[in-house]
Structure 1
Amino acid sequence: MTVISDGSHSLSLGVQLLEEGRALLERGDRTAAAQVLSRARDERDVVLAAHALIEDHELVGSYTNVMGLNCSISTEDDIFGFFKNHHSCRNPLRDYLADGWRTLSELMLLLEAVDQPLLHTPQVLEFASGHGRFTRHLVKAMGPGHVTVSDVVPSAVEFSRSTFGVEGFLSASTPEEVRWPRQYDLVFVLSLFSHLPRSTWARWLAALYGAVAPGGLLVFSTHGLKAARFDNVSLDQDGFFFAASSESNAIDVQEYGTTFTAPEFVRARIAETVGAHQLVHEAPVHFWNHQDAYVLRKPSL
């Protein structure tokens, strides 16, 4: 971060550019404001503030204009913070938004494999949805009336409801305490089981399967063997490992840490919880070339 001093106080380059961009907007000079704010957007300390001004004023360089979907990002979004602070990320805005688009394409491929196309799925629940990294892309594909979100963080649910126009409800720390408004044709759970301790892993599986409508699907992902090898993690004799650490700043690490599971562990929990025959598809390292995917189908009535 570059810091510029005027003799009385110091301002980072990002803050200076942000203030200049705001002043240009107040004067009605949208062209110059877009140029200045585009430079501010490259500075990590003001990236979201500059991004918000460009998006809100529909300036040249707006991601919304390029991608055709709502590109607003919450200041409380831990996943964006992960991208912004990661040493390998040169453009956190682009990488964050592209990651959600990639997830949509990977989910659509997975559903094609079990002959239930996403666009033929009436109601989707995105569980552990966060602040909308994936939600915005799901809404573009399906429309907000077909999407419901749920998260244990209240601000995440409210942000998605107000920003993307979806239905949303608050989850709970204990799976048995979640109150499902209805059942859904698809319950999509991306990277929750890659964070759960052993004490709640199978209980969440049972609870989420209960939210699936007859004939519908539960899709979830895990850190599998490739992820364990990449992070030099040794699984126990059951094929399980949990560490009390994660990218989230909003959830206790004892209930949301980092988890690795062998396929044998996952299949055993499925068998003892909902029945082995409900597992209709497995896709190793399917999401982000890093997480395994599992698809369960609930029998029709």
Structure 2
Amino acid sequence: MAVFDETMSPDDHMLTADLASYFQTARQGLTCVLDGLAAAGRSPESISTVLDFGSGYGRIYRALAAGFPQAQLTACDLMEPAARFCAETFGGDWARSSEVLDEIRLPRTYDLIWLGSVFTHLPAHRWVSLLDFLARATNAGGIVIFTTHGATAIEHIENRILARNPHMIAAERFAAMKRTLQLTGFDFIPNKPAAIRHQNDRGIKVSEGEYGFSFASEEWVARLVDRLPPWRLVKYAAPGWGRNHDAATIVRA
């Protein structure tokens, strides 16, 4: 595994435990990407452009910079200072993300795009629009790897996160989500208004009702990808990133 830069931003809100755990998540992210490339029949050396969409302050970006030293990297995030920090600290360039996808101005198209914990916060209609956006941002034969809240995440959230913070999602709503997931394969629980205000204060500009927690079965993800002509699903790993995120690898025609 490539050695990556461990420089931290004091504003990195993803540092919720110790640094060792944070950097382990970074290594797991790179492993997830390399596994996805292998499933798609691509070598790391064949990748010349990489986008970390939802980069934050570089938890995975730093590992991508080390794992793809020959590639041109771009960090993109709703928090402009975070994307800028990635580019200035770990190399590459940056772009400001937006809830309105047509407002995003990326500097190029990409061979590889990583989205760690992005789809996990979006309602179903925004999965479709984001996949359409990614199709325009990906080169022919390019690869997108994104993480989801599948069965492993549900167990992790229920037994760990909600055990510590039961007010994040009401127990009744979480139970209803699990029933809906069995019936349809997807459900979305929007963040409470106070949480949206907190995110906006941090610079994560999102609208009420459009950001929260999404949960999707492997079958639902596969059906969605199959209905969108540019994409082909080549790998679904459960868990794929760490112990609590599934990971889907799709290839653009």
* Residue 156 of structure 1, CA deviation: 0.8
CA distance in 2: counterparts of 1:157 and 1:144, whole angstroms: 20
1:195 aligns with 2:141: no
* Residue 235 of structure 1, CA deviation: 4.9
CA distance in 1: counterparts of 2:228 and 2:151, whole angstroms: 22
The higher relative CO (CA closer than 8 Å, separation ≥ 6) is in 2
Provide the secondary structure at the position in 1 that maps to 2:55.
coil
Describe the shift of the 1:254–1:155 C-alpha distance in structure 2 as closer, same or farther (beyond 3 A): farther
1:72 aligns with 2:35: no
User: What are structure 2's unaligned runs of at least 5 residues?
Assistant: 159-173
Provide the secondary structure at the position in 1 that maps to 2:52.
strand
* Residue 289 of structure 1, CA deviation: 2.7
Q: Deviations over 1:44-72 (max 9, x none)?
A: xxxxxxxxxxxxxxxxxxxxxxx953222
1:295 aligns with 2:249: yes
Provide the secondary structure at the position in 2 that maps to 1:78.
coil
Aligned pairs, number:
223
Matching residue's letter, 1:77: D
Provide the secondary structure at the position in 2 that maps to 1:76.
coil
Q: Based on CA coordinates, which of the two structures has the bigger radius of gyration?
A: 1
CA distance in 2: counterparts of 1:118 and 1:221, whole angstroms: 20
Describe the shift of the 1:221–1:265 C-alpha distance in structure 2 as closer, same or farther (beyond 3 A): same
Asked whether the 8 Å contact 2:53–2:114 carries over to 1, the reply is yes
CA distance in 2: counterparts of 1:235 and 1:139, whole angstroms: 41
CA distance in 1: counterparts of 2:212 and 2:247, whole angstroms: 19
TM-score, structure 2 normalization: 0.79
Asked whether the 8 Å contact 1:185–1:212 carries over to 2, the reply is yes
Q: How do residues 268-279 of structure 1 correspond to structure 2 at under 5 angstroms? A: 268-274=223-229, 278-279=232-233
* Residue 243 of structure 1, CA deviation: 2.3
Provide the secondary structure at the position in 1 that maps to 2:132.
helix
CA distance in 1: counterparts of 2:9 and 2:217, whole angstroms: 34
Matching residue's letter, 1:106: C
Which position in structure 2 is the counterpart of 1:161? 87
1:207 aligns with 2:133: yes
* Aligned with residue 111 of structure 1, among 34, 37, 46: 37
Q: How do residues 165-180 of structure 1 correspond to structure 2 at under 5 angstroms? A: 165-180=91-106
TM-score, structure 1 normalization: 0.67
Q: Deviations over 1:185-231 (max 9, x none)?
A: 11111111111123312111111122110111111110112222443
CA distance in 1: counterparts of 2:136 and 2:33, whole angstroms: 21
CA distance in 2: counterparts of 1:271 and 1:179, whole angstroms: 27
Asked whether the 8 Å contact 1:150–1:170 carries over to 2, the reply is yes
Matching residue's letter, 1:103: G
Q: Deviations over 1:9-55 (max 9, x none)?
A: xxxxxxxxxxxxxxxxxxxxxxxxxxxxxxxxxxxxxxxxxxxxxxx
The percent identity for this pair of structures is 28
CA distance in 1: counterparts of 2:4 and 2:146, whole angstroms: 25
CA distance in 1: counterparts of 2:50 and 2:248, whole angstroms: 17
Provide the secondary structure at the position in 2 that maps to 1:75.
coil
Asked whether the 8 Å contact 2:152–2:244 carries over to 1, the reply is yes
Matching residue's letter, 1:190: G
